[in-house]
Amino acid sequence: SPEYMRDLARHHVGGHLKVAPEHTDPDVLMKMRKPSNDDFEKFAEVFDRESKKAGKKQYIVPYYIASHPASGLDAMINLAVFLKQSGYRPDQVQDFIPAPFDVATAMYYTGIDPFTKKPVYIARQLRDRKLQRALLQFFKPENYFEVREALQQAKRTDLIGDGCDSLIPSRPPKEALLRRRQDAKDRFPGNYVHTIPGTGAGAKPNIDRKKANQKESRRQPGKGYRPGR
């Protein structure tokens, strides 16, 4: 109600109001038993208006979740586009974790909506879950390659480029390259397979003295050598 929003903005918020819309996809929100994203947008608009009337700079901090039952790449990409258009940059995001006595947990383990008896998409593979999580924070340079892989996999390369509507640039930023290099070092610690011992910086050449002496002895005259013969 208007009275509630007015009282909330004036007396019960200390700068940031944490709200949990959790998703934007209608099918996912229905599985969550959550109101539509239009309701959240209307709530955010009224809160912003009442905060300005109260003379306060107050902001909404939305909370979102990745890999929830029924949430696929297309749904997460649409969520990422909404975040970009709305100017939201969630700092804390969460992967869906099955919890006891939760309807979503039953969906996760059975792959079926218990209310409709229809199949539900479940992101079970670790790679799929990483891609969904990266899409929630597409603006972070270290997530560049995961976001690009997700967009390519979903055939949404129109969101890759230098335009204002793009989620990520066409070229990877420096931080993304450093992150990939560090991940490679973590996966393959120590010397690489193609590394030859003793060829690193500052290493002294390993010379077989015995073979070197044999090669030199061939060039020197032996005991039976006679000049001019």
165-210, pLDDT tens digit by residue? 999 999 999 988 888 888 887 777 665 555 555 555 555 556 566 5
Predicted pLDDT of residue 67: 97
Closest CA to 65 of 30, 23, 106: 23
Hey, what amino acid is at 115?
A: F
- The C-alpha atoms of residue 194 and residue 131 are separated, in whole angstroms, by 31
Distant-in-sequence, close-in-space partners of 154: CB < 8 Å, separation ≥ 6: 73, 74, 77
Q: Of residues 115 and 225, which shows the higher confidence score?
A: 115
32-54, pLDDT tens digit by residue? 999 999 999 999 999 999 999 99
**Beta pairing, strands 16-22 & 59-66:** parallel
Predicted pLDDT of residue 211: 57
Distant-in-sequence, close-in-space partners of 104: CB < 8 Å, separation ≥ 6: 31, 32, 68, 69, 96, 98
- How buried is residue 140: exposed, middle or buried, by Cβ count under 10 Å (0-12/13-18/19+)? middle
Q: Kindly list the structural domains of the chain, giving each domain's residue range(s) and its CATH number in brackets, ordered by start.
A: 15-140+147-156 (3.30.750.200)
Structure pTM? 0.78
Q: How confident is the model at residue 23 (pLDDT cuts 50, 70, 90)?
A: very high
Q: Specify the range with the lowest mean pLDDT, choosing from 47-56, 76-85, 161-170, 216-225.
A: 216-225
